[in-house]
């Protein structure tokens, strides 16, 4: 198997590319908010061996590097500034400021859509900021149209998916890639004095890079230097990620493998960067991640074809008489129990000390196929508190080799070698 087995078929150029004007194939104006990063046919992410020319070596993107509260303030400041300066003779410095603020807000909205975890403490403020665009507040009339449309789209998703209702009690993503900045890190563009935009500028991966390019294991993700000197990872805004909210294989095959949970999100295997369950409390669960080193490792039971999967907050509960309140994820598993809709199961190596469990891959994330939720039971944790466990059973007759073969062969030697090259950057 090739090292890019986990690459989902046919990724496309994204209309949400947050590129810097004048960098490579970026649009000429920061207000060209619906433009893609370049012309020609959209590159394919399929593992077909075709490589795109390295024509984007100068593509530079604005990456959000602030907090959710700072993002909210950027939105309100942009609204105020565009209203104040509309219709006046705009000096070049004013035009430059508006462009930079628009780009900053666009970067924040991209972050909000794809990788942010909305906490209950800030959700109302974010909701209120997006609502300014939804209600057609006359203060937003002069904000670039692309920002308005994206903000309204996110407001609607905020409502439908109930963002910020709960928080994960354990991050699932592998944090082993979080390293300090080194000379090999992508070069950030020089900071510009004056306006605080809470963004950093970074060079995007060349399309033919063996690790970060279209046929590489990190395709769809970019690496950047944070303002504090650390290394961050986010989705590459040039490419449209595959939607995750689909029941079934979603174009994937058991045995596909990815290096990080963020890459699984890009390929539509899973729907969250940190949560272990992605789903809808109204429609059911689409996927779960079983971590090889989970805090639930002594509570979950994984025999391969059957898994007892503990609900969120299972370890925290101290009540002997009542279960913890269901998170959105736990509610989605209850819906899947009622409907019988299949759930994608990914197993990860996890992070932290100790040995990984028997079925976990040695590194990264492996797609192990579809399971159905067939039962829920109550159990007792070490605190004496009750918690719920869901029994998931693997669907028979799926494509690809069986679990025993996947465990022995995925990740393969090339995939493990490529995983070891991620921190070298591009």
Greatest CA separation found in the chain?
70
- In order, the DSSP letters of 303-364 are -SSEEEEEPTTTTT---SSSPPPPPHHHHHHHHHHHH---EEEEEE---SSSPPPTTS-SSS
| Contact between 107 and 74 (Cβ < 8 Å) | no
What pLDDT, in 10s, does the model give residues 273-325?
A: 888 999 998 999 999 999 987 666 678 899 999 999 999 888 888 888 999 88
What pLDDT, in 10s, does the model give residues 48-82?
A: 223 333 344 558 999 999 999 999 999 999 998 88
In the block, tokens 């563009």 appear at: 189
Residue, of 116 and 267, whose pLDDT is higher:
267
Q: Which of 363, 366, 336, 331 is nearest to 350 (CA)?
A: 363
- Entry pTM: 0.80
Evaluate if residue 375 carries a pLDDT over 90.
yes
- 3-class state of residue 284 by DSSP: strand
For the residues 177-203, what does the mean pLDDT come to?
A: 57
Q: What's the alpha-carbon Rg for the chain, to the nearest Å?
A: 22
Q: Which of 61, 35, 47 is nearest to 11 (CA)?
A: 47
Residue, of 108 and 163, whose pLDDT is higher:
108
- DSSP-derived secondary structure letter, 230: B
- DSSP-derived secondary structure letter, 169: S
Q: Which of 338, 332, 306, 330 is nearest to 378 (CA)?
A: 330
What pLDDT, in 10s, does the model give residues 81-135?
A: 888 877 666 788 888 888 889 999 999 999 998 888 777 777 888 888 998 888 7
In CATH terms, 257-419 corresponds, of 3.40.50.300, 2.30.280.10, 2.60.120.960, 3.30.70.270, to 2.30.280.10
- Give the pLDDT band (50/70/90) at residue 172: low
Q: Pull the structure tokens for residue 130.
A: 């997006």
Q: Tell whether the torsion through CA atoms of 152, 159, 272 and 66 is positive or negative.
A: positive
- In order, the DSSP letters of 7-72 are PPS--EE-TT--BPTTSTT--SSTT-TT--S-SSSPPP-SSSS----STTTT-EEEEE-S-HHHHH
Question: What residues does each domain of the chain span?
Answer: 9-42+57-240, 257-419
Evaluate if residue 47 carries a pLDDT over 50.
no
User: What confidence score (pLDDT) does residue 342 get?
Assistant: 98
- Distance of alpha carbon 364 from alpha carbon 420, whole angstroms: 11
- Give the pLDDT band (50/70/90) at residue 206: very high
């Amino acid at each position: 198997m090739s090292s890019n087995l986990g690459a989902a078929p046919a990724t496309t150029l994204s209309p949400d590319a947050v590129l810097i004007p004048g960098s490579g194939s970026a649009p000429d104006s920061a207000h060209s908010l619906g433009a893609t990063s370049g012309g020609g046919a959209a590159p394919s992410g399929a593992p077909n061996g075709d490589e795109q020319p390295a024509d984007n070596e100068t593509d530079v993107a604005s990456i959000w590097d602030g907090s959710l509260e700072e993002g909210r303030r950027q939105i309100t400041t942009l609204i105020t500034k565009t209203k104040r300066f509309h219709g006046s003779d705009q000096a070049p410095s004013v035009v430059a400021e508006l462009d930079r603020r628009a780009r900053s807000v666009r970067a924040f909205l991209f972050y909000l859509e794809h990788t942010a975890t909305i906490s209950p403490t800030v959700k109302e403020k974010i909701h209120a900021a997006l609502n300014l665009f939804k209600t057609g507040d006359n203060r937003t009339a002069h904000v670039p149209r692309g920002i308005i449309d994206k903000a309204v789209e996110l407001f609607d998703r905020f409502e439908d998916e109930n963002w910020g209702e709960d928080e994960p009690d354990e991050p699932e993503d592998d944090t082993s890639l979080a390293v300090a900045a080194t000379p090999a890190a992508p070069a950030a563009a020089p900071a510009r004095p004056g306006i605080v935009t809470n963004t950093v500028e970074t060079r995007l991966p060349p399309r033919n890079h063996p690790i970060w390019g279209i046929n590489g294991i990190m395709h769809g993700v970019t690496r950047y230097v944070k303002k504090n000197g650390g290394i961050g990872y986010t989705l590459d805004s040039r490419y449209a990620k595959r939607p995750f909210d689909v029941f079934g294989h979603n174009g994937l095959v058991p045995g596909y493998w990815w290096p990080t949970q963020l890459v699984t999100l890009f390929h539509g295997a899973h729907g969250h960067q940190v949560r272990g369950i992605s789903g809808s409390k109204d429609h059911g669960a689409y996927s779960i991640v079983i971590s090889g080193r989970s805090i639930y490792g002594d509570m979950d039971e994984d025999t391969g074809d059957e898994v007892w999967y503990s609900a969120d907050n299972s370890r925290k509960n101290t009540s002997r008489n009542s279960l913890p309140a269901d998170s959105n994820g736990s509610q989605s598993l209850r819906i899947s129990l009622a409907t019988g809709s299949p759930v994608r199961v990914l197993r990860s190596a996890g992070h932290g000390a100790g040995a990984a469990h028997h079925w976990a891959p040695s590194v990264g994330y492996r797609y192990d196929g579809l399971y159905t939720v067939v039962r829920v039971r109550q159990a007792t944790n070490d605190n004496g508190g009750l918690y719920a466990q869901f029994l998931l059973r693997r669907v028979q007759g799926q494509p690809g080799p069986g679990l025993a073969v996947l465990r022995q062969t995925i990740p393969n030697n090339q995939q493990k070698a490529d995983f070891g090259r991620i921190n070298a950057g591009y």
